[in-house]
Amino acid sequence: MVLLRRVIGDALRARRQGQHRTLREVSTAANVSLGYLSEIERGQKEASSELLAAICDALGARLSELLSEVSSTLSLAEGMEGVLVPVEADSSKSPATKSTSDVAVSVRRDSPLKATLHATRKPQRDVVYAA
């Protein structure tokens, strides 16, 4: 089973690391404790919508962008057999992977009721217009 808080945490961490920013920098900008932000990123705590909006603002992103990314990741995960439903205890522990044109998701089943989901976004190309 994929936990929403883990997917949200992974998306936040990926954005922060993509900007080469530390937990301290983002926690200060979002006015949240460093430890709590770390727990959110690791999927151990569930952030309120107000807190998510503050973290997104600190990262220069819109909450709707983050939730859209999370939705895309979950949508892909739903299409992968056994990811969002319990799996047999003897199933393979090797990661399953699925991708679209801009998102790739790999899932490792840790136990029958726990899976680790890793999503990556392919970089968007800059469009250059000739005058």
Q: What are 32-90's pLDDT values in tens digits?
A: 999 999 999 999 999 999 999 999 999 999 999 999 999 988 888 777 766 555 444 34
pLDDT in tens, 15-43: 999 999 999 999 999 999 999 999 999 99
As a 3-state breakdown, the chain gives helix, strand, coil percent values, each rounded to 5, of 45, 15, 40
C-alpha to C-alpha distance for 125 and 48, rounded to whole angstroms: 33
User: CA dihedral in degrees (41, 49, 2, 86; nearest 10)?
Assistant: 140
> First CA to last CA across the chain, in angstroms?
51
Give me the pLDDT at residue 89, please: 38
Contact 116, 108 (CB under 8 A): yes
Report all structural domains of the chain as residue ranges with CATH numbers, in order of start. Answer: 4-121 (1.10.260.40)
The model's pTM is: 0.65
